[in-house]
């Protein structure tokens, strides 16, 4: 009886010690399930299995890195940060166990459950952001360009807009070549830009046509074109026009196509310059709120939480600042004046997901149900 008592006492102390380590969802690591496929090699089974495990570990780390990087869409060269992390993926896996492994056609399938050091990955991304990568507002640039009524393949208006905005703190993304239907109904293009993580989309509509004659009956070997550009910048969260510009310019050159390009470029540059200040004003008009969501527990639930924030039209952009002890802390930019109003917007649409814990002038704390 005494031996049994000592055994139970020792077991109790061991369990207490283990719980104090707070490994797993309550500590710096999170359990992540990941899969891999590697070529089946019957001549080297041992190495093949090892390769499958390493590939699955990399996939697990990529999942975690993607959560941080995808929420910080304004981090320039984010791919370089992710490559830096995933190239040393094994160093971010504290432990793992293989759940399944078997031959699958010409490949070998492996599924693992790995404890990934989420905090370490988050710290690296934050450090990279602070030391090497400038944050920029992502803007998609799309255009509808015609010369003599035909679609232009050179996209001179886009290039002119890039030249004007390249010195600004924007991350410019090449958008679609639009049709007249897109100009008349820009909402699908706006939705696509938002899905790609852009805060704004610039939609340019420019047409160039030849001038039939010069003033005063003057004849010239040069060709002359006149371009009319109308450019609008839309906020992707609410479809509002935040900036607009319009300009007409002429182009002169012995070659007809060069004359048209000159006219288009000049008109679009002039229109784009008119928008810079309004875009900057819109960027800085949003209020930044600190929002902490507790009881997230898993990377999958964290991704779901990000999707919820991304789908709220009142939110312009958000950044995952920290994720530890199953709590996610975000900086959220929204055109909302008070934390109570932002909380109400979230709860009104997603009340089944959240419980309000505290609201202060500086912070919102929610529980993820």
Burial bucket for residue 120 (CB in 10 Å: 0-12, 13-18, 19+): middle
In the structure, what pLDDT confidence band is assigned to residue 15 with cuts at 50, 70 and 90? very low
Residues 6+ apart with CB under 8 A from 325: 26, 27
Parallel, antiparallel, or unpaired for β 287-294 and 363-368? parallel
Percent of the chain topping pLDDT 90: 51
In the structure, what pLDDT confidence band is assigned to residue 126 with cuts at 50, 70 and 90? low
Predicted confidence at residue 77, as pLDDT, reads 52
Distance of alpha carbon 350 from alpha carbon 353, whole angstroms: 6
Of 43 and 312, the one with more pLDDT: 43
* Range in 16-25, 178-187, 201-210, 279-288 the model is least confident about: 16-25
Distance of alpha carbon 219 from alpha carbon 227, whole angstroms: 21
Predicted confidence at residue 289, as pLDDT, reads 93
pLDDT digits 0-9 by tens, 235-265: 998 899 999 999 999 999 999 999 999 999 9
pLDDT digits 0-9 by tens, 17-46: 333 333 344 446 788 899 999 999 999 999
Predicted confidence at residue 217, as pLDDT, reads 62
pLDDT digits 0-9 by tens, 83-111: 667 666 667 888 999 999 999 999 999 99
Average pLDDT on 40-64 reads: 92
Q: 0.75 exceeded by the pTM?
A: no
In the structure, what pLDDT confidence band is assigned to residue 124 with cuts at 50, 70 and 90? confident
What are the structural domains of the chain?
24-131 (3.10.28.20), 137-283 (3.40.50.10610), 287-368 (3.30.70)
pLDDT digits 0-9 by tens, 148-158: 999 998 899 99
Average pLDDT on 262-285 reads: 94
Tell me: pLDDT of 232 over 70: yes
Average pLDDT on 139-151 reads: 94
What's the Cα-to-Cα distance from 58 to each of 34, 35, 140, 253, 320, rounded to whole Å?
9, 9, 31, 56, 22
What would you report as the CA-atom Rg of the chain, rounded to the nearest whole angstrom? Answer: 28
Average pLDDT on 121-133 reads: 61
- Classified as helix, coil or strand, 110 is strand
Predicted confidence at residue 171, as pLDDT, reads 85
- What tokens appear for 165 in the block? 């905005």
């Amino acid at each position: 009886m005494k031996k049994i008592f000592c055994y139970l006492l020792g077991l109790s102390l061991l369990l207490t010690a283990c719980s104090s380590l707070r490994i797993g969802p309550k500590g710096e690591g999170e359990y992540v399930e990941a899969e891999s496929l590697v070529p089946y090699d019957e001549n080297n089974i041992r190495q093949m299995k090892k390769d499958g495990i390493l590939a699955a570990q990399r996939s697990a780390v990529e999942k975690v890195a993607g959560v941080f990087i995808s929420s910080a869409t304004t981090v320039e060269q984010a791919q370089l940060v992710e490559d830096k992390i995933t190239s040393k993926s094994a160093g971010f896996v504290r432990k793992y166990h293989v759940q399944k492994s078997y031959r699958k056609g010409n490949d070998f399938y492996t599924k693992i459950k790995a404890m990934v050091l989420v905090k370490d990955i988050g710290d690296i991304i934050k450090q990279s952001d602070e030391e090497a990568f400038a944050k920029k507002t992502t803007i998609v640039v799309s255009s509808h360009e015609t010369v003599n009524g035909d679609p232009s393949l050179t996209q001179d208006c886009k290039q002119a807009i890039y030249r004007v905005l390249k010195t600004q703190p924007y991350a410019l993304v090449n958008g679609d070549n639009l049709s007249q239907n897109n100009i008349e109904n820009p909402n699908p293009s706006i939705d696509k830009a938002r899905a790609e993580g852009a805060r704004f989309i610039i939609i340019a509509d420019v047409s160039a046509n030849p001038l039939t004659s010069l003033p005063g009956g003057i004849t010239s070997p040069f060709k002359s074109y006149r371009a009319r550009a109308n450019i609008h910048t839309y906020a992707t969260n609410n479809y509002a026009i935040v900036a607009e510009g319009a300009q007409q310019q002429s182009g002169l050159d012995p070659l007809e196509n060069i004359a048209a390009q000159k006219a288009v470029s000049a008109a679009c540059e002039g229109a784009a310059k008119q928008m810079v200040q309004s875009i900057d004003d819109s960027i800085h008009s949003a209020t930044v709120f600190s929002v902490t969501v507790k009881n997230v527990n898993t990377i999958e639930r964290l991704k779901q939480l990000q999707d919820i924030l991304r789908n709220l039209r009142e939110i312009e952009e958000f950044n995952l600042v920290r994720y530890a002890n199953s709590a996610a802390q975000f900086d959220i930019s929204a055109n909302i004046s008070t934390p109570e109003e932002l909380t109400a917007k979230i709860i009104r649409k997603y009340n089944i997901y959240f419980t309000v814990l505290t609201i202060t002038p500086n912070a919102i704390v929610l529980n993820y149900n």
